[in-house]
Each structure stands twice: as structure tokens, then as C-alpha cells.
Amino acid sequence: MQHPVRGRPEKENRDGGGSRYGRKETAAVLQAFCDMDPTRLKALEVRFSGVVFPGETIITELWKNGPGELIVQAKTRERGEVVISAASATIA
């Protein structure tokens, strides 16, 4: 079964709205480094490494790793658990 974040909007709607887990990191990269221009985001690879419980806040951290390369990590504010790790983004 495919995860709703990976591009099945019909599944998200059937499940009551789907998950925002993963999409938040895309929005953070676009806002911080791409002037909200999605054509500048060339690749985003994430590794889901923890559980986010309903009501928790996700903190997204971004670091430049060279020209056009970013390191992405996300953790929960409430527990400090890393929930997305070993993630990277390539931007133009």
C-alpha cells in the first residue's frame, strides 16, 4: 500500500484528509530557499524515522550542504523525537 504523502490524493480524501507529515518539509524548503517557486525544488528525499502523534507539532530544520544541496531533519516539539532523518533536498 502506498503512503498518502507519496502522491495519492484520492487516498488522502478517503482517509479523512490524509497526513501533512512530509508535506510540511516540502513547504519549509520552498519558503526558506526557493521563494515559494516549486519549479526550483528539483528533488526531495526523506526517511521517515519516527512516529508523530495527533496534535504534535513538527519542527523542520534545514542546513545548506553546498550549492543547491540541503540537509533536512524534522522532530517533534513536544518529545524532541527525530521523525524525519537522513533527508536531503536539491534546489536550483
The enclosing domain of 78 has a CATH number of: 3.10.129.10
Low-confidence ranges of the chain (pLDDT < 70): 1-22
3-state secondary structure of 27: helix
Cα 4 off chain centre by = 13
Cα 77 off chain centre by = 15
Task: Specify the number of domains making up the chain.
Answer: 1
Does some domain include residue 28? yes
In terms of residue numbers, what domain contains 16?
A: 7-91
For residue 46, what pLDDT is reported?
86
Strand residue runs (E) in the chain: 41-48, 58-64, 69-76, 82-91
For residue 20, what pLDDT is reported?
58
Does some domain include residue 30? yes
For residue 22, what pLDDT is reported?
67
